[in-house]
């Protein structure tokens, strides 16, 4: 079977913050709501790691540790994770670990561990202090902004790679410029924005407001045609425009591109569907391969197939593939953010096409640069790429950026 990425929840929904917009906050469908302590036991952990590594013998075993707050499992838990991966991994097998954290518990010991074992870290930060602390608070009401910024400082000091995940709320959807400029001023170059779609109208984005947010954010990101900051949604769209499969499951043709392991070994097809109706099985009671090969997981993988009459003639269905089933779940029918995307996709289309074409050219220029073809070429000389144009009017801007003449560069070329 294919080696699917896995989202592991060693603490389930347990967290040391009390964010009102949290997807897990007082969720009636939470199958573990009555369980006071949810920490993955060593027998469950070892059974999971050993079985998962066996299913991934031909690919990269991608562990994404999430919560709640996964660091509440403790540093010794993650030391055990790495130990078990080494114990059960085959010679030469590729393993990748990432962890999504609110940053509150990150200190030098954690950073040293992340660096030593090549963990990628996702850090939750909603923007400037007033916006962040509006929702990301401790149970006693204190804001967590200072703790998160300190976590970012520590991660940088240990050279731990990380990105920033920001939740877009009804308030934040009006603040695209301020949020973006804050992140740029703090030199956060890898960003991810998640729209809040919880039922509370005081928190959830509106389709119109989120569409406006995406358009303004795109203008800021696009800059002069050389984006210098990675924004995951825009990067994923570029993948689609290049004919590649986007990383984001919401832009893929089908669901079931990853699975979830809860603290007790229960399996679900998606973190938004951790509910009794989509329980797949428990890896202590049935083999992992058998569970993932079962009819329930196949049924889930087809949720995007429809039929959805409103999508049949949409010119953007090739991008979103009928949207995310979770957002149909929220709005009891039509994908909740569909109006936002119908506004944004045509707004950004021509520039995305231009960027996709440019990225193809970057690859060709890089190949020629590595071969030495541009060495000694003058501004007004014919371009070595064979276009017939002068170097300065053709490949020169690409060569300058690839050679580092641009002091800030662009992540698209990295």
Q: What is the pLDDT of residues 354-367, one digit of tens each?
A: 998 888 777 788 88
Active site annotation includes 406: no
User: Residue 404: which pLDDT band, with cuts at 50, 70 and 90?
Assistant: low
User: Residue 331: which pLDDT band, with cuts at 50, 70 and 90?
Assistant: low
- Report which of residues 71 and 396 the model is more confident about: 71
- CA 304, CA 254: separation in Å to the nearest integer? 6
Beta strands in 143-289 (DSSP E): 162-168, 190-195, 230-231, 259-261, 266-268, 281-282
User: Residue 409: which pLDDT band, with cuts at 50, 70 and 90?
Assistant: very low
Helix (H) or strand (E) holding 62: strand 61-65
- Kindly list the structural domains of the chain, giving each domain's residue range(s) and its CATH number in brackets, ordered by start: 6-305 (3.20.20.70)
Cβ of 158: how many Cβ atoms within 10 Å? 14
Angle ∠(337,343,346) on CA atoms, nearest 5: 125
User: Residue 111: which pLDDT band, with cuts at 50, 70 and 90?
Assistant: very high
- CA 165, CA 193: separation in Å to the nearest integer? 6
Predicted confidence (pLDDT) at residue 408 exceeds the cutoff of 50: no
Q: Can you tell me the mean pLDDT for 35-41? A: 89
pLDDT of residue 28: 67
Predicted confidence (pLDDT) at residue 406 exceeds the cutoff of 60: no
pLDDT of residue 49: 98
Predicted confidence (pLDDT) at residue 1 exceeds the cutoff of 70: no
- CA 379, CA 93: separation in Å to the nearest integer? 48
Q: Can you tell me the mean pLDDT for 171-175? A: 98
- CA 391, CA 400: separation in Å to the nearest integer? 11
Percent of the chain with pLDDT over 90: 69
Greatest mean pLDDT among 22-36, 41-55, 380-394, 397-411: 41-55
User: Residue 37: which pLDDT band, with cuts at 50, 70 and 90?
Assistant: confident
pLDDT of residue 14: 93
pTM of the model: 0.89
Of the candidates 32, 99, 34, the residue with the CA atom closest to the CA atom of residue 65:
99
Predicted confidence (pLDDT) at residue 254 exceeds the cutoff of 60: yes
Length of the chain: 414
Marked catalytic residue, from 30, 271, 349, 406 = 271
- Report which of residues 29 and 256 the model is more confident about: 256
pLDDT of residue 407: 34
pLDDT of residue 75: 99
Q: Can you tell me the mean pLDDT for 177-190? A: 97
Place of tokens 């144009």: 389
- Report which of residues 162 and 90 the model is more confident about: 162
Cβ of 64: how many Cβ atoms within 10 Å? 20
To the nearest whole number, what is the mean pLDDT of the chain? 91
Q: Can you tell me the mean pLDDT for 154-164? A: 98
């Amino acid at each position: 079977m294919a080696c699917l990425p896995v989202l592991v929840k060693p603490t389930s929904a347990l967290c040391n913050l009390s964010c009102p917009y949290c997807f897990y906050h007082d969720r009636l469908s939470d199958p573990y709501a009555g369980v006071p302590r949810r920490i993955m036991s060593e027998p469950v952990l070892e059974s999971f790691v050993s079985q998962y590594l066996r299913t991934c013998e031909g690919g990269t075993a991608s562990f994404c540790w999430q919560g709640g707050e996964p660091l509440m499992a403790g540093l010794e838990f993650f030391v055990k994770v790495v130990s078990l991966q080494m114990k059960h991994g085959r010679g030469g097998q590729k393993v990748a670990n990432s962890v999504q954290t609110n940053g509150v518990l990150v200190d030098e010991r954690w950073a040293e561990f992340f660096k030593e074992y090549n963990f990628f870290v996702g850090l939750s930060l909603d923007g400037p202090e007033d916006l962040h602390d509006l929702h990301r608070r401790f149970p006693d009401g204190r804001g967590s902004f200072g703790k998160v910024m300190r976590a970012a400082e520590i991660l940088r000091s240990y050279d731990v790679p990380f990105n920033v995940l920001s939740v877009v709320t009804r308030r934040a959807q009006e603040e695209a410029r301020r949020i973006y400029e804050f992140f740029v001023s703090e030199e956060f170059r890898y960003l991810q924005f998640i729209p809040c779609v919880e039922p509370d109208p005081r928190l959830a984005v509106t389709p119109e407001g989120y569409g406006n947010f995406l358009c303004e954010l795109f203008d800021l990101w696009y800059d002069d045609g050389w984006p210098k900051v990675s924004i995951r949604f825009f990067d994923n769209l570029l993948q689609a425009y290049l004919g590649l499969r986007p990383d984001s499951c919401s832009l893929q043709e089908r669901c079931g591109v990853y699975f979830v392991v809860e603290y007790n070994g229960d399996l679900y097809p998606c973190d938004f569907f951790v509910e009794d109706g989509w329980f797949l099985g428990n890896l202590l009671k049935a083999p992992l391969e058998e569970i993932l090969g079962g009819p329930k997981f196949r049924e889930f993988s087809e949720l995007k197939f429809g039929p959805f009459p409103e999508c049949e003639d949409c010119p953007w269905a090739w991008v979103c593939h009928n949207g995310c089933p979770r957002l149909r779940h929220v709005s009891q029918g039509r994908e909740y953010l569909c109006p936002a995307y119908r506004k944004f996709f045509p707004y950004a289309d021509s520039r995305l096409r231009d960027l996709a074409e440019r990225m193809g050219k970057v690859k060709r220029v890089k190949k020629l640069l590595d071969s030495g073809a541009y060495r000694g070429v003058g501004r007004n000389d014919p371009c070595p790429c064979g276009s017939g144009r002068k170097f300065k009017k053709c490949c020169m801007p690409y060569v300058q950026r690839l050679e580092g003449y641009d002091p800030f560069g662009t992540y698209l070329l990295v």
